[in-house]
Structure 1
Amino acid sequence: MRGPHNLLRLIRTGATFERTGAMAQVLEAMNAPPRLRVALRVLAWPFRWLGLKGDPALPPATRALTALGPAYIKFGQTLATRPDVVGTEMAEQLRYLQDKLPPFSMAEAHATVAEELGLSVEEVFSEFSEPVAAASIAQVHKARLASNGQKVAVKILRPGVERAFQTDIDAFYFAASMIEALLPQTRRLRPADVIAHFDATVQGELDLRLESASAAEFADNTANDDGFAVPRPVWGLSGRRMMTLDWAEGVPMSDRAAVDALGVDKSAIGTRVLQLFLRHALRDGLFHGDLHQGNLKITPDGTLVALDFGIMGRIDEYTRRVYAEILFGFIRRDYRRVAEVHFEAGYVPPDRDIDEFARALRSVGEPIFGMDATQISMARLLAYLFEVTERFGMETRTELILLQRTMVVVEGVARSLDPRINIWKVAGPVVEEYISENIGPRAVTRDLLRTARVLSRFGPRLPQLVENALIAQSQPDQGAGSGRGGGPLLWLAVGGALFAAGVVLGTLI
């Protein structure tokens, strides 16, 4: 239900932030303008009594987000990876949201297993531990199979989490519609489409059968990636509300002391996190969409182990090429080419000035190069990028939302390991490798061969298509069409040429 009753939910959100003390903390951490701070606090204060109390033992921001529910916790998990945006102190506090939330009871966990498998926990597992990690959607238990003694991880959804998410998302839809109605200039950002994208992502995360499929596909894609591992699902012991995977040994990346005790090269691991993310996105078109510290482990030999495959991103081949060319242009500081790619892909309206857009991109990119990463304010950079997109009428690209969000998260994870890491230098080798293989003469040849393969499959239908075109052209009421479409001879010539090309090239592939 996305009606006006959601206004109460949004008021309660602001009231909860004010009541818990999170409003002042968040605005201070994000360096919000003084006028905005005063306006938000004045608006929220009269409704303070409506706010949720939360757990007084938690820091203000963490207390507010956990009280508000799973969708808000997801947002906090993202902020936990960005100390450059919210400050080191708040980022440390928000890491609690990644895997240290209060667990639900063992009785509820046992009941879910029995409901999904039709067998009791004791019949399936010889060992079944207390929760070893608990996040916004599910918790994880360490277990051992009764059949063969294999160690596994059992992930179980929180009771009622589906309804809780739907409540939050309905309020987000209402907020988006209000924003579009009251602030028409924000429509280019497509708030409703952004929420719809988030909604679809969350719905996929709430069905663990889909997560099992994602884990299996991701494991296949990355099987040959050095220093990276993905646990595989145990299909016979997985369902909609629970899933079973191979147990992954290692130290949680969120445990800084344990990571330090391993003695691994944290700078090298930070580089690997960034490069693997880019390689998965560009090479495979399938990437982990929630790659924060709580979803990563490090083994004693420095291998990265990915966990939690509820949010996976996909990008088609054309978008991958566009994204790679944009990154490559920034890396080479060829802002004119970056601008051209934006126009060619339709990301910028064609009536805008390409030279002015290139100049604006230069003003974004140049301050990054030659500057120590610790000196770069990501908050200021994002604010300026927003100004640029607004000035040139760029609409939000919903197909890139998850990619862009994950890029921000992954950079934050890498910086937590090496504060001086420079994303552009690290990305260079991966992007150059992709460009060399997918843009240029070899890529054109491969595209043509792929087109020929498709045409060869449709070859038997081409004669009928030509005959239908001839019959249609011969009708008196459509005679004028010969001049409009080039006539039946053109249809015959094109069809014959395509068919011949498809058959000849198809036999060579």
Structure 2
Amino acid sequence: MGLVSYFRLMRAGYVLAREGALSIVPVKDLPPALAPLGLGVRLARLIERPSVRKTGQVERLNTALNRLGPTYVKFGQTLATRPDVVGPQIASDLSALQDRMEPFDPALVPAILTTALGEKAAELTELSAPVAAASIAQVHRARLRPKDGLPQDVAVKILRPGVSERFMADIESFYVAARLAEGMVRSTRRLRPTEVVETLDRSARLELDLRLEAAAISEMAENIKDDSGFVIPTVSWDHVAQNVLTTSWVAGIPIRDHAALDAAGVDRKALAAKLLQAFLRHAIRDGFFHADMHPGNLFADPRSGDVIAVDFGIMGRINRKERRFLADILYGFISRNYRMIAERHFEIGYVPKDQSVDDFALAIRSIGEPLHGRTAADISMARVLGQLFAITDLFSMQTRPELVLLQKSMVLVEGVARALDPELDIWTVAEPVVGDWLRKEAGPLGRIEALKEHFDTIAEAAGRLPVIAAEAELALADYHATKVQPPDRAMRWAKLILMGLAGVTLLALLWRLVSGAAL
């Protein structure tokens, strides 16, 4: 395994150098500790094909990573979410990567469907040529003719044959490269390259099981069942397997085709507002959001003007505490309450307590104040969050992967929304979603939900008390057996005292949680 992994790394290095992809590395700006890397890049660029020097950096990256295969494309997209590792400029270049590959042989499709779905495969008829092909899967349009239902048009997503095996082989090479970097260049340990590879490993394994994508669609459908303005496909569970996903076919105008939107009479300003508000609602209210909302995954319904989203292979999730943090941060900038923003960073534990709240609030003010008095077109919510994450480095704040993914998703959504409406006022559109959620959290319903979470914690602790008491009784019995036998009355008193202490502890915990929730 070791020699094969090294060979794969050497081949990858050759392809990257040959296609000019190493031009994205800012050799002149590298710190002294990474000087050997700069020398290596200069030497590697000697074998660069002359023709690639006429193309842009992003185009070179696209060509090189797509030549290397699906794992490298996904790795590039993962690094795009880690500006703390590769730097803002490289992260920006990587964020423009396009996941496009030639479709695999359509003659293989019938056998794949039969193996995966059994006799249910016969219900999928009139399969089209691939309508989209990416590094991991491709999509066909088909006609579903169930025995006990009405025919309907569906989208059938099929994993590429052999993609799982290819991924496993490539990821081994990535782990080898990460360990080499940590062992040979000490300064890279702070960037935790092995952790970056682990992030890619986890996310890609999820994408390689289409049953999990079906479950993500189902969960989001439950979350948005009472919403308007945002539409997603439905899953045909009888036609889902590890390598096959069948959903309803959603017809719409590609959201990046502005001419077609205008010709159909779609209000682009309203469409932009619906998109941004839907994303914030999913992130802040539900804590579960589509994390790959690039223009290729978004459409508009010409009849209703609603947003249609597809491809749920990459999803983001943040817990209640992080949702409250995000809402407070956005609302703090809207209301110019910089002290509150600083305090929230300390309360959630993102900034160490040995740092100064006042200094941190001052740094945040340096971000927020320039926003006021400027036109809406000059203000970027995603850029604000990016600057906020950059400033927190000065205050020893650890990178939060879940918030970095959220920021990357917000960059995508805001970019699409601004393309639809260049004059979009991000803060005005965001206020109803963020403000309403915060008011709900501060009201009776929010307190009831918080109390429910606290009582769940208490119930779990209470459920463990009998076990704790039984273990304590056994420990006392062992002690009783190995030492001089105390009177039975002493043993009974010891048990009563132990149970009393456990009860007092539980009551104290209950009081603290209830009083904390009421604040």
TM norm. shorter chain > 0.5: yes
Distance (whole Å) between structure 2 residues aligned to residue 421 and residue 455 of structure 1: 46
Q: Is the 8 A contact 2:133 2:139 kept in 1?
A: yes
Contact residue 77 and residue 292 of structure 1 kept, 8 A = no
**Structure 1 pair 91/400, CA: closer, same or farther in 2 (3 Å)?**
closer
User: CA, structure 1 residues 40+430, in 2 after alignment: closer, same or farther (shift >3 Å)?
Assistant: farther
Deviates more, 1:359-368 or 1:197-206: 359-368
Conservation of the 8 A alpha-carbon contact between 2:291 and 2:409: yes
SS at match of 1:159: coil
Q: Once the two structures are superposed, what CA deviation does each residue of 1:394-436 show, in whole Å capped at 9, x if it has no partner? A: 2222333432322222222223323343544432221111111
**Structure 1 letter corresponding to 2:340:** R
> Which range moves more in the overlay, 260-269 or 172-181?
172-181
Asked whether the 8 Å contact 2:276–2:429 carries over to 1, the reply is yes
Structure 2 residue 349 is the aligned partner of structure 1 residue 338: no
- What is the Cα deviation at residue 235 of structure 1? 0.8
Q: Distance in 2 between matches of 1:7 and 1:325?
A: 48
**Partner residue, 2:201:** 199
Residues 27 and 41, structure 2, Cα contact 8 Å, conserved in 1 = no
Name the structure 1 match of 2:85: none
Task: Supply the AA of the counterpart residue of 1:134.
Answer: A
Please say which of residues 32-41 and 391-400 is displaced more in the overlay. 32-41
- Cα displacement (A) at 1:367: 3.2
Aligned-pair distance for 1:204?
Answer: 0.9
Change (3 A) 1:408 1:168: farther
Aligned length: 479
1:132 corresponds in structure 2 to 131
Q: Is the 8 A contact 2:20 2:48 kept in 1?
A: no
Change (3 A) 1:344 1:90: closer
The answer to whether the 8 Å contact 2:22/2:45 transfers is no
1:371 aligns with 2:370: no
Q: Structure 2 matches for 1:22-41, cutoff 5 A?
A: 22-24=21-23, 26=24, 35=29, 41=41
Q: Which runs of 5+ in 1 are unaligned?
A: 503-509
Alignment partners' CA distance in 2, 1:4 and 1:372: 58
Q: 2:152 matched to 1:150?
A: yes
8 Å Cα contact 1:157/1:206 also seen in 2: yes
Does residue 239 (structure 1) correspond to residue 241 (structure 2)? The answer is yes
Alpha carbons of 1:79 and 1:345: their partners in 2 closer, same or farther (altered >3 Å)? closer
3-state secondary structure, aligned to 1:244: strand
What is the DSSP-based 3-state SS (H/G/I as helix, E as strand, rest coil) of the residue aligned with 1:143? strand
Question: Which residue of structure 1 aligns with residue 517 of structure 2?
Answer: none
Asked if structure 2 preserves the Cα contact closer than 8 Å seen for 1:133 and 1:141, the reply is: yes
Q: For the residues of structure 2 that align with 1:387 and 1:290, how far apart are their CA atoms? A: 23
**In the alignment, does 2:351 pair up with 1:352?**
no
Distance (Å, rounded) in 2 between the aligned partners of 1:86 and 1:302:
35
Match of 1:429 among 421, 427, 432: 432
Q: Give 2:105's aligned residue.
A: 105
CA shift for structure 1 position 263: 3.1
The reply to whether residue 313 of structure 1 matches residue 324 of structure 2 is no
Is the 8 Å Cα contact of residues 190 and 396 (structure 1) preserved in structure 2?
no
In the TM superposition, residue 378 of structure 1 has moved relative to its aligned partner by 9.5
Equivalent in the alignment of 2:328: 325
**Secondary structure of the residue that 1:118 maps to in structure 2?**
helix
Contact 1:188 1:395 in 2 (8 A): no
Amino acid at match of 2:18: R
| Conserved? CA contact 1:194–1:398, under 8 Å | no
CA contact (8 A) 1:189 1:395 kept: no
The amino acid across from 1:409 in the alignment is L
Letter in 2 for 1:317: R
Contact 2:78 2:200 in 1 (8 A): no
Deviations 1:310-338 (A, max 9, x none): 11222222222222222222332222222
Q: Deviations over 1:314-368 (max 9, x none)?
A: 2222222222222222332222222221112121222222222222222233334
Are 1:4 and 1:174, in contact at CA under 8 Å, matched by a contact in 2?
no
Please tell me whether the aligned partners of residues 377 and 425 of structure 2 are also in contact (alpha carbons under 8 angstroms): no
**1:134–1:327 Cα change, 3 Å:** same
| Map of 1:443 onto structure 2 | 446
Describe how 1:261-410 pairs up with structure 2 within 5 A: 261-300=263-302, 301-372=304-375, 375=378, 387-410=390-413
Of residues 253, 258, 261, the one that matches 1:259 is 261
In 2: Cα distance, 1:63 partner to 1:404 partner: 26
What TM-score do you get using the length of structure 2 for normalisation? 0.77
Which letter maps to 1:173? Y
Q: State the alpha-carbon separation in 1 of the partners of residues 261 and 391 from structure 2.
A: 39
Is the contact made by 2:287 and 2:320 (CA closer than 8 Å) also made in structure 1?
yes
Displacement of 1:238 in angstroms is 1.1
2:419 is the alignment partner of 1:419: no
Q: Distance in 2 between matches of 1:44 and 1:110?
A: 44
Q: State the superposition RMSD in angstroms.
A: 4.3
Q: CA deviation at 1:466?
A: 6.5
TM-score (norm: length of structure 1): 0.79
In structure 2, the CA distance between the partners of 1:362 and 1:124, relative to structure 1 (3 Å rule), is same
SS at match of 2:129: strand
Matched, 1:491 2:497: no
C-alpha displacement of 1:203: 0.7
Matches within 5 A, 1:14-25: 15-24=14-23
Partner letter of residue 448 of structure 1?
A: L
Shift of 1:454: 6.2
Q: Using the TM superposition, give the Cα deviation of residue 385 of structure 1 relative to its aligned residue in structure 2, in angstroms.
A: 5.0
**Distance between the aligned counterparts of 2:427 and 2:3, measured in 1?**
45
Alpha-carbon distance, 1:152 to partner:
0.8
Residue 456 of structure 1 contacts residue 499 of structure 1 at CA under 8 Å; is this kept in 2?
no
Q: Deviations over 1:124-177 (max 9, x none)?
A: 233111111112211111111233321111110112222333344334434444
Bigger shift: residues 349-358 or 181-190: 181-190
Does the CA contact (< 8 Å) of 1:235 and 1:244 recur in 2? yes
Letter in 2 for 1:196: E
Any idea what SS the aligned residue of 2:130 has?
Answer: strand
State the Cα deviation string for residues 375-398 of structure 1 (Å, max 9, x = none).
569998788556523322222223
The amino acid of 2:345's aligned partner reads H
| Alignment partner of 2:175 out of 156, 173, 193 | 173
Query: Does the 8 Å contact 1:155/1:243 carry over to 2?
Result: yes
**Code of the aligned partner of 1:266:** R
Is 2:74–2:204's contact at 8 Å kept on the other side of the alignment?
A: no
- Percent of residue pairs identical: 44
The answer for unaligned runs of 5 or more in structure 2 is 31-36, 82-87, 514-519
Q: 1:277 to 1:168 in 2, by over 3 A?
A: farther
Change (3 A) 1:417 1:191: farther
Alignment correspondent of 1:69 = 69
Contact 1:452 1:501 in 2 (8 A): no
3-state secondary structure, aligned to 2:138: strand
Q: Which moved more, 1:125-134 or 1:462-471?
A: 462-471
Mapped to 1, the partners of 2:347 and 2:504 lie a distance apart of 31
**Are the aligned partners of 1:473 and 1:487 in contact in 2 as well (CA < 8 Å)?**
no
